[in-house]
Amino acid sequence: MKFIYLCILVHQMESPVWKYFKKVRAEDKAICSKCNKTLSCKGSTTSSLIRHLKTNHAIIREFDDENIKNNNSDTLKSPIDVTKKRKIETQGLMTAFLKKTSMGEILAKLVAIDGLSIHSIVKSSFIRESFLRQGYSLPKNNKSIMKFIVEFYYEKKQEMVEYFQTLIKENRKFSLTLDEWSSKRNRRYLNVNIHESDGQPYNLGLVRIYGSCPAEKTMELVENKLNEFHLNFSHIIGCTTDGAAVMVKFGHLAPIYHQLCYNHGVHLAVMDVLCKKSSEFIPMKNINEDFNDCESDDSNISESDDENVDIVRISADQQPVQLCDNYKCLLGKVRKIVKLFKVSPLKNNILQKYVKDEYGEGKEFSALLDCRTRWNSIQVMLERFLKIKNSIKKALIDLKLEHLFIEEDDVKNIETLSNTLKPITMAVNELSRRNMNLLTSEGVFKFLFESLETQQTEFSNSMILSLKLRLEERRNKNIISIINFLQNPSTVKDRFTVKFGDFFRMNTKAEIIKSIKELSSKFLAINAYAEEVDLDEEGYLDMGHSEVSLSEKLQRSIENCLKPMNVKEKANQYYVKEINMFESTGIITPNLSKLFDYLKTIQPTSTESERVFSMASNLVTMKRQNLSDQSITAILFLRSYFMKCK
């Protein structure tokens, strides 16, 4: 009797882990009933068995509940133990309701956000153990891990497709930004981004370009990319690209409004003043429509050689663009001094001693050297040079190199150059913001021209003329007039017409109404009140010459009475009434408001594509050249997705 009672007592105290294991008593081992794996359990210990169930089979809750039951004894006397008990109970309740992050999402964040390579994830024992604690078994090869990431990419891509379809049902439209990029592996890609009216970008990924890519092929690539997200050109109102010849022709072929990048125009304007070219500038409107095809080696558009593919005719024997002699000599003196302190740590220590004396302890301002392919780096170099010029002069005296310091006249020229380039740099940075549109860019241009005009120097006046010439090529007067009128009708009457000539002059009210009619008939269904009806000479429904029965004539006559009026001729009056009401009351009608939202989607620059290319350059490095096109697109898409979710 005592033996039976003892057996029952032992059975009640037995760990629940034995529900999942079969014990082999002769060898002190246990076999898992789920995966048939044999584990050691010397001395009847169950810790290794519980660990196996938690990590490989995600069986956790039962053993946590068992631990809580065991801790309900009198041993829990201290407040710390009571707090631990409550924390365990709370965690047990929370984990039952919280959604577990999928392995694909975790891997996608490690690769897209943290920048870890697939190989480093596979080889990291710490990452592998962390996945085991989450109940995941991390694959041991690169392809399997990339498969998880690609599956997660398709999942989020489908979510974006559904989101776009929701916006389309609301009669919303989008704009595009396009640009080309060449990887370290010398492969060419086309990036496509979608923008909403608030400027929110959606990176659709990269498209591989094989061989030459004329405008017709670019059209095909863009259409195919849009089709992947169940979109087409009917959902797009405009597209922003740089000034490459192939992109200009693409703008002529595409059935949408084409906007050339303002920042690219500013870059070319600065180069026109600072640099000398052997070719003669040819305005965009005089360029032949039949553009030459761009070869693979000549169409690599990067941030450093945009001017080589712009609308300037470049002869075959032309040398790379160089600075004009008057600026080249001045900047050469500054660069020589900057290099002196950047190359030698000893000379830089002497310089920093005087910098600290001038600006206080803990302040260090090193001399900065510009980049030959970035004009805005010239302004940064000159601004820093002017800030520490007194410290530089004292350091040169200590080094017995005072003859290298720049004369006072040259210092004044440096100040003029820096003061002129600074508002241009600020304007470019502001135009590159994601919330910018064609309306707000007008405020940037106003600031830019007013800042340059107040300086009244030969350099600033030359820059104003060059900026006007380059920006007028990219600024559509009709679109700008409409968007300014819809924002505030009173601003159209006087837009700096006297001060800056024709640059800010808007169209007349009649011209604006005409432009609104054309855009509305193209992008709005405002004229589609009724289908066109064939009428006879007296204005009645044409019954045709064939014999019809009286009942058919009666039915057609009734249908003719129910047909709404064909207001194709009345549409002009309708537009005029809406515009007049908006101008007099300030209350914008739904049709004009919708058109205003459409126009605000158009981006003034193609900077978003440059952001994508910057991410792609960090991804496709010399050590990671073998990433497939699908992997590159998936990682860049997911990085943009996660950045928006922050």
pLDDT along the chain (646 residues), means of 10: 42 65 76 81 76 73 48 41 46 49 90 90 91 88 91 93 92 92 89 88 92 92 93 92 91 92 92 67 41 37 35 34 71 91 91 89 85 85 92 91 87 90 92 90 90 90 91 89 86 55 78 84 54 39 50 63 50 71 82 89 92 88 82 91 82
Q: How far apart are CA 18 and CA 47, in angstroms?
A: 12
Query: What is the number of domains present in the chain?
Result: 4
Q: What is the pLDDT of residue 523?
A: 75
Q: Do 305 and 411 belong to one domain?
A: no
Task: Give the sheet arrangement for strand 38-40, strand by strand.
Answer: 21-24, 29-32, 38-40
Q: Which of 95, 127, 157 is the last residue of a domain?
A: 95
Determine, yes or no, domain membership for 271.
Answer: no
Residue 225 vs residues 175, 180, 192, 230, 231: alpha-carbon distances, Å = 14, 14, 8, 9, 9
Q: Do 245 and 311 belong to one domain?
A: yes
Backbone dihedral region of 44: left (phi > 0), alpha (psi from -120 to 50 degrees) or beta? Answer: left
Q: Do 462 and 558 belong to one domain?
A: no
Determine, yes or no, domain membership for 266.
Answer: no
Q: How far apart are CA 301 and CA 29, in angstroms?
A: 66
Alpha-helix runs per DSSP H in 275-407: 325-343, 345-359, 375-387, 389-398
Go through the chain and tell me how many residues it has. Answer: 646
Q: Do 562 and 640 belong to one domain?
A: no
Q: Which domain holds residue 584?
A: 478-536+548-600
Q: Do 91 and 153 belong to one domain?
A: no
Determine, yes or no, domain membership for 199.
Answer: yes
Determine, yes or no, domain membership for 327.
Answer: yes
Q: Do 17 and 166 belong to one domain?
A: no
Other CB atoms within 10 Å distance of the CB of residue 576:
15
Q: How far apart are CA 603 and CA 204, in angstroms?
A: 16
Determine, yes or no, domain membership for 543.
Answer: no
DSSP letters spanning 403-465: GGSPPHHHHHHHHHHHHHHHHHHHHHHHHTSTT--HHHHHHHHHHHHHHHHHH--HHHHHHHH
Determine, yes or no, domain membership for 541.
Answer: no
Q: Do 384 and 461 belong to one domain?
A: yes
Q: Do 88 and 103 belong to one domain?
A: no
Q: Do 457 and 482 belong to one domain?
A: no
Q: Which of 435, 450, 475 is the last residue of a domain?
A: 475
Q: Which DSSP helix (H) or strand (E) runs through 68?
A: helix 61-70
Helix axes 607-619, 629-645, angle to 10 degrees: 120
Determine, yes or no, domain membership for 542.
Answer: no
In Å, how far from its chain's centre is CA 262? Answer: 17
Burial of 382 (0-12, 13-18, 19+ CB in 10 A): buried
Q: Do 490 and 469 belong to one domain?
A: no
Determine, yes or no, domain membership for 148.
Answer: yes
In Å, how far from its chain's centre is CA 628? Answer: 22
Q: How far apart are CA 566 and CA 558, in angstroms?
A: 17
Q: How far apart are CA 569 and CA 565, in angstroms?
A: 10
The rounded radius of gyration (Å) of the Cα atoms in the chain is 35
Q: Do 114 and 215 belong to one domain?
A: yes
Q: Do 295 and 432 belong to one domain?
A: no
